[in-house]
Chain A
Amino acid sequence: MDASIVGILMLDGATNGAIYALLALAIVLVFAVTRVIFIPQGEFVAYGALTLALLQLGRVPGTVWLLLGLALIAALLDAVARMRRGQPAAQVAPAVLKSLVVPVLIVAVTWWAAPRKFPLLIQSLLTLAIVTPLGPLVYRLAYEKLADATVLVLLIVSVGVHFALTGLGLVFFGAEGFRNPSFWDARFSAGALSLSGQTIIIFLVSIALIVALFLFFERTLRGKALRATAVNRLGARLMGISTSGAGHLSFGLAAFIGALSGLLIGPATTMFYDSGFLIGLKGFVAAIFGGLASYPAAALGAIFVGLLESFGSFWASAFKEVIVFTVIIPVLLWRSFQHGHADEEE
């Protein structure tokens, strides 16, 4: 083990850590706003990477049908709820149709664009457009009615959603993996270290996204509304903030971050329909470092998890996952000694 090996391992760990950091931020965000421990976060990573892979092949990815299906079900539920409230059909129909415009538009554009094999960047944007709306729809269908349930109930729902999305992933993308083309093929070498363009993109995008999230929470009204909901749901509601709207927004952000992570990691590894779970779980371990509440601690935790994984795979590759997931125990112990159990339930 010499300096060059340490350097290579650090770089590898930090690259993976940057992806975990994005996911950890999304998990913290969703938990803070909706109290949902969002296990399916990783599924959006797989959906993002594989949707792009299918677009690359010139095929219409199955995720657009999921989007359309979920949107239709949500619209139907919405219509029923409005009718029950006694709204006249003349009012219900336009409102419901309006909610379907965006999904139908995305499906139509994908249908038209997929066989034309547009440049990578346009396909990436299309992928984000397909996967991001899945987040709010998942929230609408799986969690919204249970918004006031206990954390445990929401966790169980998350496990269910995770299995459903993984199963659908197998249907959409098949059992075999895909590797996306690199966004930037350049290679830079500094001594033994060799830095690929993709690695630089991963770092730059991660940092840009973290800065953007920071600005969003500090500077915009919607961001502040999300923070208010995270601090106190009831209080926020009394101030006229829609907690359900906050839920939709946080899930939308989570899906966006997930899909973006998928795009970033897709060229660096082979993605399978079920790869997202483990990546998401590492993000979750990182989020635990921040007690599911602190963004900077979660981001630091993510870099730590990435480094631990990288060095773990060098020293004892057979026990790599064991090492990563065992670390969660002392962290939990430390946190519970430090904070006690006061913040368990409202």
Chain B
Amino acid sequence: MKDIRMLLRAATAAAAALAASAAMADITVGVSISLTGPTSALGIPTKNGIALWPKEVAGEKLNVIMLDDATDPTKGVQNTRKLITEDKVDVVVGSVTTPVAIAMADVCAEAKTPQLMLSPANLPPGKGEWSFRMPQSTAVMAIPIVEHWKKIGVKTYGFLGYSDGYGEAWLTDIKPLAEKAGIKLVATERFARPDTSVTGQALKLVAANPDAILVVASGSGAAMPHKGLVERGYPKGKIYQTHGAATMDLIRVGGADVEGSFVSSGPAVVADKLPASNASKELGTRYISEFEKANGKGSANQFGAHAFDVIIVLQKAVPLALKKGKPGSAEFRAGLKDAFETMGRTPVSQGVLNWTATDHFGYTPETGVLLKVAKGDWEVVPN
């Protein structure tokens, strides 16, 4: 009995050693995302996007280790430590949840391992040297809206947004842009996603009578304030929504009341409707066809697209980093970071990235597209 146990132990050790040596030569990507908990709705499509990753990147075998952070920053930090110390990953991907992604950034910086965040997390200056964002910043997504306002001659606008980080980020990002264009903010109102009515806010906004109203909310939660404004007699065609609302859920719940309204969006979700000149048209179309082949029609969304884009970025950065060192080494990881910062303009399915040493958001102003709801579907507004 004892002999058998010894034998087993030896065999396990040998297998582990073999596995470890095999892993040394491959590129190992450690993923920690929220597969359970309140933001699992973001994590699960991301996982489906990761399932589309190829077996190889730039001729090197790709190992993916995926862990669940349960939407918990503490768990995210534990996962990151495990990925870095035990699995010796070359790059950390995640999390989809902003507070978790921020907590992970410290660990990645400490271990000098690049992190590709799947959430547009803002980090204080000096932090996040090793962290790069896959999603667009709100500042970039505000550009198509302000550009459209300039074009049609909007002079004043009102703001009706979530009383949380998303609403706040939009307010701080769109204000300077609009001010530069000479467009004044005349009313600022807030609401929360579980609110049952926005009558009070809508009354005040409609009374201020701005040329346009920006509604900042996400998914189907964006429909209630929209309907509230329309109910108070504000014209539908003057209401603008953010990329958080650029899902079919807005149209499904909003129905006729959102018809003719405008939404700012990343390009991937409407790739098939983009003009051929758009840099993301081809990649976005490929993402949608691959993702929907695996997950069913109408399943493609921006979260899967960010996961899809991770590979596009790696495909460009890995050959550059391989010149600096072998995968698994500190040189390779530093090489990856340098490659991210110096590889220049990179079209991905969700826009055009251009990371630099100082800008780790990096999306260029050409990224966002403005959509219009027409006959229960999206229509791209030409700029």
Contact = CB atoms under 8 A, between A and B. Distances in A.
Interface of A: 5, 8-9, 12, 15-16, 19, 170, 174-179, 265, 268-270, 272, 274-275, 277-279, 310-315, 317-318, 320-321
Given A270-B253, A313-B191, A12 B197 contact: yes
B194 A274 contact: yes
B60 interface: no
- Interchain residue pairs A-B with the least CB separation, the first 8: A313-B200, A314-B200, A175-B41, A177-B220, A12-B199, A278-B194, A269-B196, A318-B190
B203 interface: yes
A177 B219 CA distance: 8
A269 B224 contact: yes
Contacts of B192: 278, 320-321
What's the dominant secondary structure at chain A's contact region?
A: helix
A22 B193 CA distance: 22
B249 interface: yes
6 contacts: A175-B219, A270-B224, A277-B194, A313-B195, A313-B201, A318-B163
Contact of A313 (B41, B193, B198, B224): B198
> Among A8, A12, A272, A275, which residue has the most Cβ atoms of chain B within 10 A?
A12
Contacts of A313: 191, 195, 197-201
A237 B53 CA distance: 66
Contacts of B163: 317-318
- Contact size range, B: 20 to 34
A270 B221 contact: yes
B190 A312 contact: no
B204 interface: yes
Contacts of B331: none
A9 B199 contact: yes
B339 interface: no
Nearest to A311: B200
A321 B255 CA distance: 28
Contact of A265 (B193, B196, B219): B196
Contacts of A274: 194
Given A175-B41, A314-B204, A272 B221 contact: yes
Contact of B200 (A15, A279, A310, A321): A310
Nearest to B39: A175
Contact of A177 (B40, B199, B221): B221
Contacts of B196: 16, 19, 265, 268-269, 275, 279
Contacts of B272: none
Given A9-B199, A176-B247, A272-B193, 12 more contacts: A8-B203, A170-B40, A175-B40, A176-B249, A177-B224, A179-B253, A270-B224, A272-B220, A310-B199, A312-B200, A317-B189, A318-B190
